[in-house]
């Protein structure tokens, strides 16, 4: 046998071994990279952010709950300075009682003032010019117990006679009218008709003309200012017995 045929063929084991080591190294590197990526994702991924946010909210809530209530010293000072609703109600009730108690004397003090502004009253008699001299010169009609106005000017009998309604005088009819007046700055009377009898017989308008002939004094009988004070007038129209008709 020759020398070449007796030698065994050589294998490629060293090369295969080198390739295996490369594969193992690559796998280890890949495992390291995957592990690092998973760690980074678990730490900084969306779930971690959500958990971190929830943890921060929980921490803030616990802090807020911790500082929500006042300290014992503050509670004591607050309790001493802030009144309870019951105290407010009691205070308001007491204030109302005090005000009503205070208002009562004021009301009592104003009572005489109201009484002082009661209207002055006077009855004025009007007779026609054809009436007898005794009827014209008679004293004015006075109602006892009433406060009379203070006149600075009064009309004469013949001026009053001119106000007698002509038709009523022709028919020999009598009548009267009531007026409510107010004293003006110049002493004149601002009047409004209250009643007339008989109705629509002309006595209401005639009474208004009579009132315009009078002037009131600047002061009342008690010395108080007469401006704005009320005056009630009753104007009575009468004829003598010879003129009067049923």
Same domain, 144 and 223: yes
pLDDT score of 167: 94
> What pTM, to 2 d.p., does this model score?
0.50
Q: Are 117 and 183 in contact (CB under 8 A)?
A: no
Domain membership flag for residue 219 = yes
- 72 occurs within a structural domain: no
d(Cα 117, Cα 124) in Å, to the nearest integer? 22
Using DSSP bridges, classify how beta strands 230-237 and 120-126 pair: parallel, antiparallel or unpaired: parallel
Stronger pLDDT, 4 or 207, i.e. the higher one? 207
Final residue of a structural domain among 35, 50, 65: 50
Residues 105, 110: Cα–Cα separation, whole Å: 9
Going by pLDDT thresholds of 50, 70 and 90, the confidence category of residue 118 is confident
Which residue, 7, 27, 50, sits at the end of a domain? 50
pLDDT in tens, 192-207: 999 999 999 999 999 9
The reply to whether 190 falls in a domain is: yes
**Residue 62 predicted with pLDDT over 90:** no
Q: Based on the fold, state whether residues 223 and 124 are members of the same structural domain.
A: yes
Q: Judge if 46 and 137 occupy the same domain.
A: no
Helix ranges (H only) for 69-183 are 72-81, 85-116, 133-136, 157-161, 166-170
Domain hosting 39: range is 19-50
CA 37 to chain centre: 75
Return the DSSP state at 219.
B
- 125 and 219 fall within a common domain: yes
Nearest partner of 209 among 150, 162, 166, judged by Cα: 162
Is 85 within a domain?
Answer: no
Q: Which residues contact 205 (CB under 8 A, 6 or more apart)?
A: 165
CATH of the domain at 227: 3.30.2420.10
The residue ranking higher by pLDDT, 31 or 176, is 176
Residue 83 — very low, low, confident or very high, per pLDDT cuts 50/70/90?
A: very low
Q: Is pLDDT of 31 > 50?
A: yes
Residues 45 and 124 in one domain: no
At 133-189, the pLDDT tens digits run 555 555 555 555 568 999 999 999 999 999 999 999 999 999 999 999 999 999 999
Q: What is the pLDDT of residue 59?
A: 56
Looking at the fold, whether 127 and 42 belong to one and the same domain comes out as no
In sequence order, what are the residues at sequence separation of 6 or more whose Cβ sits closer than 8 angstroms to the Cβ of residue 2? none
Q: Which contacts of 92-97 are long-range, i.e. CB under 8 A and separated by 24 or more positions?
A: none
Residue 183 lies in a domain: yes
Share of the chain above pLDDT 70, in %: 47
Q: Which residues pair with 123 in a beta bridge?
A: 234
pLDDT at 26: 73
**Within-domain flag for 133:** yes
Distances (CA, A) of 235 to 99, 153, 157, 208, 226: 48, 17, 13, 9, 21
Side by side, the strands of the sheet bearing 120-126 are 120-126, 230-237, 175-183, 189-197
Is the per-residue pLDDT at 82 higher than 90?
Answer: no
pLDDT value, residue 197: 96
pLDDT, residue 29, reads 74
Domain-located, residue 5: no
Average pLDDT over residues 104-118: 51
Q: Return mean pLDDT, the chain.
A: 72
Residue 200 lies in a domain: yes
The structural domain count of the chain equals 2
**pLDDT at position 27, please?**
73
> Beta-carbon neighbour count of residue 221 at 10 Å?
12
């Amino acid at each position: 046998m020759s020398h070449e045929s007796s030698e065994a063929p050589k294998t490629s084991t060293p090369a295969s071994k080198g390739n295996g080591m490369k594969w193992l190294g690559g796998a280890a590197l890949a495992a390291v990279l995957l592990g690092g990526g998973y760690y980074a994702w678990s730490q900084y991924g969306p779930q971690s952010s959500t958990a971190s946010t929830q943890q921060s909210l929980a921490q803030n809530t616990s802090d807020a709950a911790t500082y929500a209530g006042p300290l014992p010293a503050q509670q004591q000072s607050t309790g001493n300075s802030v009144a309870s609703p019951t105290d407010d109600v009691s205070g308001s009730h007491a204030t109302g009682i005090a005000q009503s108690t205070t208002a009562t004397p004021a009301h009592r003090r104003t009572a005489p003032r109201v009484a002082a502004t009661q209207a002055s009253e006077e009855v004025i008699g009007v007779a026609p010019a054809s009436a007898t001299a005794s009827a014209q010169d008679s004293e004015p009609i006075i109602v006892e117990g009433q406060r009379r106005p203070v006149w600075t000017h009064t009309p004469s009998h013949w001026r009053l006679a001119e106000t007698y309604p002509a038709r009523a005088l022709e028919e020999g009819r009598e009548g009267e009218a009531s007026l409510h007046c107010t004293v003006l700055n110049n002493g004149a009377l601002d009047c409004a008709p209250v009643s007339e009898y008989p109705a629509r017989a002309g006595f209401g308008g005639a009474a208004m003309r009579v009132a315009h002939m009078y002037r009131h004094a600047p002061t009342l009988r008690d010395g108080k200012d007469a401006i704005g004070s009320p005056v009630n007038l009753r104007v009575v129209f009468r004829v003598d017995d010879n003129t009067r008709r049923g």
